[in-house]
Structures are given as C-alpha cells and as structure tokens.
Amino acid sequence: MTTVLVSGVGALGGWALEFLARAPGVERVVTVKRSPWQGPSWTTIAMLGAAIEGHTKQFEHHQVDLADVATTARLLAQVRPDAIVHSATAQSPRRLAGAALDPGLRAAVRSATFGMWLPWHLWPAAQLTRAVEAADVETHVVNASFPDVVNVAIWKRFGHGPATGAGNLEVCAARALRYVMAKTGRPAADIEVSLVGSHALLTRGTVVPHHFRVTVDGADATEQVDLAAALSTWPEPISWHDAVPNSLYAGSAVKNALALLSDEPLDTHVAAPTGRPGGYPATVGAGTVKLRLPADLSESEAVAINDRAARFDGIERIEPDGTVVYTAECRAAMENLGYRCEAVAFDDLPSRCDELKKLYGHLTSAGN
Ligand SMILES: NC(=O)c1ccc[n+]([C@@H]2O[C@H](COP(=O)([O-])OP(=O)(O)OC[C@H]3O[C@@H](n4cnc5c(N)ncnc54)[C@H](OP(=O)(O)O)[C@@H]3O)[C@@H](O)[C@H]2O)c1
C-alpha cells in the first residue's frame, strides 16, 4: 500500500492533500498539523473528493507538533510513509504579503529579501529530518518550504534530507514552455525547455543569474524566446498573493513525490534536488533524481549559477555545518528593520523564529 504523508496542511499542504486524494496509485493519505483547526475537516473533505472520483483510499489525520521530535518519530514509525510532502512553516509568507504596510516599510521589508524569514521555514524542516532519523524509516521527502535554501542547509547539517523541493523554478519552466508553445504553435512534445535558476528567478525575474536553453524539433531556438516576457505578465498578469497560486506549488510537490515512487522515469524540472541550491532540469524516478543538464553546462557551472542567484534571496553562502550566512546588503536591510543577524545556525533556530515573530508583530502594527 503506497502511503503519502502531508506535513503541514495550510494553503499549500491543503492543495497537496486534494491532489493526492485524486491521484491514482496512492492508497493512503496521512495528514499532520500542529493545531486542532482545519486538519480533520480538510482531510474528510479530501476523502469525499476522492470518493467522487471513484477512489476508496484510506485517510487519517494526526495533530502533531513538529517541535516534539519523539512524538513525530513515533507517528512516522507507525505510518511508515513512502513519501512525505512537507510544507509546514512557522508562519506563511502570505501573511506578510497580505499585511497592510505603508509603501516605505514594504520596500524596506523587500530589501531585506525573503531570506530574512528563513528560520520560519528551516526550523520545521529540520525537526522533520530529526524525526525521520529517529524513526529510522525509508522515505522520500519533498520539501516545499523555501527548498532552494532549506534543502541545502539540511543536507549539509544532517548528511541527508529532502530528495527534492517543489515549485519555484518549476513554475518558471512551465511558463517558458507555454510561452514557446504559443509563439511557435508547436506541441509540447516538440519542445525541450531547459532552465537552471532559483526561487529568486520566480520572484525577481531575469536579472537573477540563470541558464536557459530551448530547442524546437531538436534545433536551438533560445534566441527567439523572450524569457523576461515569459516570466512576467504573459499571457495575463497573475495575482500571486492570494491562496490560489498554491495549487501550482502543491501540484509540483505531488508530481515530485509520485515520480519518486514510480519506476517510470519522468523528465521534469525540480527545485533543490538532493541538497543542491536552486532548481534544475532533472529526471526523477525509482527514488532517484538525476540532473539533465544541456551539453554546454556542467553540474559545477549550474550549481555556481544558483549559488550566485541565492544572493538575490540574501544568502551569501551556506557553511559545511549548514549555517546560512547572509550577504552584507541583506544584513544591513534587516538591521534597518531592527533585526540583527549575520548567520542562521541550527542551534539558534527556535530563538530566531521567536525573534522574527515579535518583529513581524511590531512591523505589522507599525503599518496599521
Ligand atoms: N516552493 C514554492 O514554490 C512555494 C510557494 C509558496 C509557498 N511555499 C512555502 O510553503 C510553506 C507553506 O506555506 P503556506 O502558505 O501553505 O503556509 P500555511 O498556510 O501557514 O500552512 C503552514 C502549515 O504548517 C503547519 N505547521 C506550522 N508549524 C507546525 C509545527 N510545529 N508542527 C506541525 N505543523 C506545523 C501549520 O499548522 P497549524 O496551522 O496547525 O499551525 C499549517 O498547516 C511556506 O514555507 C512557504 O514559503 C513554497
């Protein structure tokens, strides 16, 4: 029986639950979240949605706080999930995106980059990794929570971690494919998009280092594609800050989990495969992820592009023990908001999460 566990059932995890409910080949879906709210109800709704589609899978929900590694490990040892779709975060970035901040403060927060909030995403993923270790279960973790940085830090700190991330670069690759299909009038089967890039490529566009190639019928057509246009408003502007775009990221996470569980190799793009920074074209299948880079790009060159791109998320480097060091620009911008942090160390994650929550409260009340 194939079991997938969803860790964190919020905006993204809720969509992942719905996709898994309808996915053939998954026989049991287990959901986990911290508070008593929403989890039982959403899991029951997913069960009913599965029945409408003709599935009679098993569903179960557990209220578990990832802070409690022993309880999480006991649950994992009992459930023995084949894959875990992880999206737990101490606080969703959607809250800040939707908060009423004055334009000056909003710009100051933006200068501090998404990387400022890293502890909120890294801490739950670290706790899950500890629980997987303690439970001694064989599973494939797909981490959707800021994978471009979180997966790298986790792999360095623990020597193992999520098989892949989700979303981010995959959304850019999908936009590029649809753009090329529209411009050439050719079906997807005739087009090969190859994109190396990071979370920042999605949020900041083509000023961020990346590598892009597209072939149509095997012939290089890269020069004919306006990637900046493909990644901006084409074909219509998207409202990124409501809950709906989470279907994209959750769909990507579920696609990666199912591909890892399948023996059929899937050519795709993935964010943060096996601890590498940023995203890459890759082949996923039978529990493995293999990079599928174009002939003119070596793996070390691709990783170097994404290391440079990480600076647009405020990340200077990630030390061998997983400590994440901020860029000077990011440090200055964070200090401007009243938050001093040179680097995020694993031992400091709980206190950093608390400090950021206090700061968030202060910033959002200042904006009202
Ligand atoms: N990769 C991508 O392309 C992409 C795109 C969008 C978002 N994301 C990331 O996805 C993550 C989730 O975002 P979201 O908007 O879905 O957040 P959300 O709606 O706040 O959901 C977060 C979930 O995590 C759970 N959680 C938090 N702390 C927990 C803990 N200690 N133990 C167990 N469960 C815990 C929450 O449960 P409670 O409510 O019970 O606390 C909630 O169900 C974020 O890291 C976000 O940055 C990634």
* CB-ligand 1 contact for 34 (6 Å cutoff): yes
Strand, helix or coil for residue 48: helix
d(CA 37, CA 70): 22
* CB-ligand 1 contact for 40 (6 Å cutoff): no
| Residue nearest atom 46 of ligand 1, based on CA coordinates | 145
| Residue nearest atom 36 of ligand 1, based on CA coordinates | 8
* CB-ligand 1 contact for 261 (6 Å cutoff): no
Q: Which atom of ligand 1 is nearest to the CA of 93?
A: 47
pLDDT above 70: residue 367 = no
258-293 residue pLDDT tens: 999 999 999 999 999 999 999 999 999 999 999 999
Superfamily of structural domain 3-158:
NAD(P)-binding Rossmann-like Domain (3.40.50.720)
| CA-angle at 152, arms to 151 and 153, nearest 5° | 95
pLDDT above 60: residue 76 = yes
* CB-ligand 1 contact for 6 (6 Å cutoff): no
**What is the 317 CA–ligand 1 centroid distance (Å)?**
25
Best mutation site among 38, 89, 169, 269 for ligand 1, i.e. most ligand atoms within 8 A of its Cβ? 89
Best mutation site among 5, 12, 41, 170 for ligand 1, i.e. most ligand atoms within 8 A of its Cβ? 12
| Residue nearest atom 9 of ligand 1, based on CA coordinates | 145
Q: Which atom of ligand 1 is nearest to the CA of 13?
A: 16
24-73 residue pLDDT tens: 999 999 999 999 999 999 999 999 999 999 999 999 999 999 999 999 99
What strands lie across the sheet with 58-63, from one edge to the other? 58-63, 28-33, 3-7, 83-86, 140-143
| Residue nearest atom 19 of ligand 1, based on CA coordinates | 10
d(CA 270, CA 285): 12
pLDDT above 70: residue 177 = yes
β-strand partners of 220: 215
* CB-ligand 1 contact for 275 (6 Å cutoff): no
Q: Quote the mean pLDDT of the chain.
A: 96
pLDDT above 80: residue 368 = no
| Residue nearest atom 39 of ligand 1, based on CA coordinates | 35
Joined tokens for residue 240: 């990124």
pLDDT above 80: residue 242 = no
Band of the pLDDT at 366, cuts 50, 70, 90? low
CA-based R_g, the chain, Å:
20
* CB-ligand 1 contact for 61 (6 Å cutoff): no
121-159 residue pLDDT tens: 999 999 999 999 999 999 999 999 999 999 999 999 999
